[in-house]
Structure 1
């Protein structure tokens, strides 16, 4: 059965590469579990007792990507990214005490590889994820979620919305709007389901690629005043839509979504040679004045089913996490 693995100290210790004269972030982070025998409900009840503001957890799956016709690999990002993050130096800029490491979801693979079964499984993942996010946000903490496919945007938005008792706004850095039809759950329609469920109010799509969003989606964006798009081609040409930023400035309760296929040459199912530079996204995180209710990093991979590998994805994710914690 699907479950959640709560991390105890020994789980963290085995990931730390210690060096004399240095203190790594993993030596300072908070943990929710006293022992590996703690249940998830017990651990979540302890959240309010911790001074850590941020709660880091993983959803290592690529079922949603495969359910959308993509290539498996997104499940590989969590463990390597956590290892990279825990081995950052603990220093005056970031001590580690600001962050609690909760653990990761353990999700069983469907027995068959047909779209119907995969999409049914994604709906089961939704039901598994959103109550955990709801508990974290209700405890006054900020979840940082490492995926996994972008299908997990839906349960994260839902859990945050239920905790705050209102629909939230979302800023999504992405080449794709992920507003495909409600044809069964997958990585391409998380925001469609969030809008339909009343959990998502205003949706800001930053960096959409003109070549990879169908006309039906573009027409929907044009019709709906709650949907706001800034296209990557317009950003390149220096002609960004002023209405996008005008609508954005007044938003207060916001989720931050970063789909790594928006960054050029980052390993993912939809890897692109043309996109944002990594430092563009780091700068966006560092300079925004808005405070976010959560951050979700999705679609990145260190190893794809087709044989492609990258050692840099995990380090990039580590940078994005540390930037977010430092500036929030």
Structure 2
């Protein structure tokens, strides 16, 4: 059955590459099993257990690509979580980032649906939504900031939902992405998480940064044009020097930060692109930002795609983004 695997200390220890004279983040991070007994499932996660943690951030993974396939994409996003966690745990613990700021919770274990048709995959995504959002709700309600590594961008919806319920208000979201993911209410998939969040009043204002003009359909462009809750900055305009520097100032408190790795040039994903942000553009945006976010969600990256493409760099990129986020948000 689908569930949340909550990590023990031995789970973490097995991922650390030890070296004499050095301390890795994995040797300093907090583990939920230290805070509460019988941590074998979602039912074991409690507000009290999370609140007992001294860490400000809670890291968890959603290693699945069902939502990507439900959107007719190439499988592979399920490969990212474990290698990204290993990369993060083996960063040096030092004066810039010690590791005790982060609680490692675990990852969702998602079974493949028996029905592999598009409708079957979309039905499964809706089931995953109901699995994910209560955990996010508990993390946010406990005063922590979830950092979620996907997985498909379909998971934006349950993350927004859980955060909104915990905050008792609709939230704003900044999505750094080549695609608006505003496809229709046609059954859940990676291309309509924000559509559902808007329709169900969990998402208030939706800010999109870096959209590609050639990869958003006319219906989506019309939505952005007529809906005052939607604002987009196109990557094509950024290239022409027409960047909107005031975008972040318009975002309200309690906003979420979404980073879809298909907006980064030559990063392996279902929609890998030769034209996009450089890695350091995204790092600079995080490191120079003064706004506080309610969560970070990194989605769509892959270390191996079903078509055979492989990259060992995706996991290290994610480790950089997570560590940058923690440094600026603590």
Give the TM-score of the pair, scaled to structure 2. 0.97
Greater shift, 108-117 or 202-211, is seen at 108-117
| 1:43 shift after superposition | 3.7
Unaligned runs of 5+ in 2: none
Alignment of 1:102-141 (within 5 A): 102-141=105-144
Q: Which residue of 2 aligns with 1:277?
A: 278
Alpha carbons 1:120, 1:184 under 8 Å: kept:
yes
Superposed, 1:184-203 pairs within 5 Å as: 184-203=187-206
Question: Would you say the 8 A contact 1:7–1:36 is kept in 2?
Answer: no
CA contact (8 A) 2:153 2:300 kept: yes
Q: 1:32 to 1:225 in 2, by over 3 A?
A: same
Tell me the CA shift for residue 250 of structure 1: 5.0
Q: What's the CA shift for 1:240?
A: 2.4
C-alpha distance in structure 1 between counterparts of 2:280 and 2:17, whole Å: 26
- Contact 1:8–1:36, Cα closer than 8 Å, also in 2: no
Contact 2:152–2:190 (CA<8 Å) still a contact in 1? yes
Match of residue 12 from structure 1: 12
Counterpart in the other structure of 1:213:
216
Shift in Å, 1:37: 4.1
In 2: Cα distance, 1:246 partner to 1:107 partner: 36
Change (3 A) 1:96 1:180: same
Q: Distance in 2 between matches of 1:213 and 1:255?
A: 22
Deviation for aligned residue 1:38: 1.8
Please give the per-residue CA displacement for 1:75-113, whole angstroms capped at 9, x wherever unaligned.
Answer: 000000000000000000000000000000000001232
1:29 maps onto 2:25 in alignment: no
Task: Measure, in 2, the Cα distance between the counterparts of 1:26 and 1:128.
Answer: 27
Task: Compute the RMSD of aligned alpha carbons.
Answer: 1.2
- Post-superposition CA distance 1:178-200 (Å, at most 9, x none): 00000000000000000000000
Bigger CA drift: 138-147 or 249-258?
Answer: 249-258
8 A contact 1:18–1:24 mirrored in 2 = yes
Structure 1 match to 2:158: 155
Distance of 2:202 and 2:251 partners within structure 1: 18
Whole-angstrom CA distance in 1 between matches of 2:95 and 2:248: 36
Alignment match, 1:42: 44
Structure 2: distance between partners of 1:232 and 1:147: 23
Gap change, CA 1:129 and 1:246, over 3 Å in 2? closer
Does the aligned pair in 1 maintain the 2:248–2:291 contact within 8 Å? Answer: no
Match of 1:69 among 72, 80, 91: 72
User: How many correspondences in the alignment?
Assistant: 326
2:269 aligned partner: 268
Shift of 1:248: 3.9
State the Cα distance separating 1:282 from its structure 2 match: 0.3
> Which residue in 2 is equivalent to 1:2?
2
Taking structure 1 as the reference length, the TM-score comes to: 0.97
The within-5 A match list for 1:171-186 is 171-186=174-189
